[in-house]
Amino acid sequence: MQKETNNRERGNQPYNNQINTSGDDADYGCCGICLLILSGFIILLTFPVAICMCVKVVQEYERAVIFRLGRLSKGGAKGPGIFFVIPCTDEYRKVDLRTVSFDVPPQEILTKDSVTISVDAVVYYRVQDATMSIANVENADGATRLLAQTTLRNMLGTKSLSEVLTDREEISAGMQATLDIATDPWGIKVERVEIKDVRLPVQLQRAMAAEAEAARDARAKVIAAEGEMNASRKLKEAADVMSESPNSMQLRYLQTLTAISAEKNSTIIFPLPIDMVTSLMTKK
């Protein structure tokens, strides 16, 4: 009965999938220690040849994660430079610390205002902890790529079409923060996220173009109407000024004749005031 209770208690405890990456509490047991002693003895016996198998080199931008008898070795990742391994018991994996970039495939996304768009992006990341990238996740690169795709869909699914087109920097910053937090247990540092292209359906492009053209025509008509209104006001003011001085009307008339004659016209229309014609007819 007590045994069943203990099993139930262990089953209710949460499972912690984070592995101890320090390697300080490694306990190889009696068999492990015997294997290590045996391996060291074999290395001494075959010293001139075994030294070539024990010495390894990693580049400045690389680190080596060593597993000794299946456990992480003490001291964390090795490198850069020379490090030693025991051929019979040690296994190591190299990790590249340089920045890696990859394209997020185009994602068909339904925006908040029910518009289907296709969006792709580019992500830049690097490994900041080589041990965690090996011990805590099977494939850090593949996991980061898949997470970037789902994050892009989730982020843009909460935005409207106008926000997607105008707030690219804000969306990119939000994606970077989300990815950085999610990939931190994997030893990954997301440095930058950029949205490359937003492709709209052809019908939506035509509708948006027609809407923009209609808006431009409406603005043009409003501007033309405002110009006519301002011109009519100025003409009214000019007429009021000319009505106060009869000679100004005669001077304007002469200026008009000068402008007509300068164009080398063969026919000139010479208007006469109506009151002058009326007075002549009255005299007859």
Q: What is the pLDDT of residue 16?
A: 45
* Nearest to 142, CA basis, from 102, 178, 174: 102
Amino acid at 282: T
Q: What is the pLDDT of residue 206?
A: 79
Q: Which of 93-102, 158-167, 242-251, 273-282 is the least confident region?
A: 273-282
Amino acid at 81: G
Q: What is the pLDDT of residue 1?
A: 41
Per DSSP, the residues of 168-232 read HHHHHHHHHHHHHHHHGGGTEEEEEEEEEEEEPPHHHHHHHHHHHHHHHHHHHHHHHHHHHHHHH
Q: Between 207 and 162, name the one with better pLDDT.
A: 162
Q: What is the pLDDT of residue 3?
A: 42
At 14, the pLDDT band (50, 70, 90 cuts) reads: very low
> Domains in the chain, please, with CATH?
40-95 (no CATH), 99-200 (3.30.479.30), 217-279 (no CATH)
Q: What is the pLDDT of residue 2?
A: 43
Q: Which of 162-166, 196-200, 257-261 is the least confident region?
A: 257-261
pLDDT tens, 127-154? 999 999 999 999 999 999 999 999 999 9
pLDDT tens, 171-191? 999 999 999 999 999 999 999
Mean pLDDT of 213-232: 87
Longest Cα pair distance anywhere in the chain, in angstroms?
148
Q: Alpha-carbon distance 26 to 21, whole Å?
A: 10
**Which residues is 194 bridged to in the sheet?**
122
Are residues 184 and 220 in contact, defined by beta-carbon separation less than 8 angstroms?
Answer: no
Has residue 107 got a pLDDT over 80?
yes
**Which residues is 110 bridged to in the sheet?**
116
Has residue 70 got a pLDDT over 50?
yes
Amino acid at 83: F
Strands of 21-128 (E only): list them: 55-58, 62-68, 71-72, 81-84, 90-96, 100-110, 116-127
Mean pLDDT of 244-263: 71
Helix 47-54 to helix 29-45 angle, to the nearest 10 degrees? 120
Please state the pTM of the whole predicted model. Answer: 0.65
Q: Alpha-carbon distance 178 to 175, whole Å?
A: 5
Per DSSP, the residues of 269-284 read -----HHHHHHHHHH-
Average pLDDT, the chain: 80
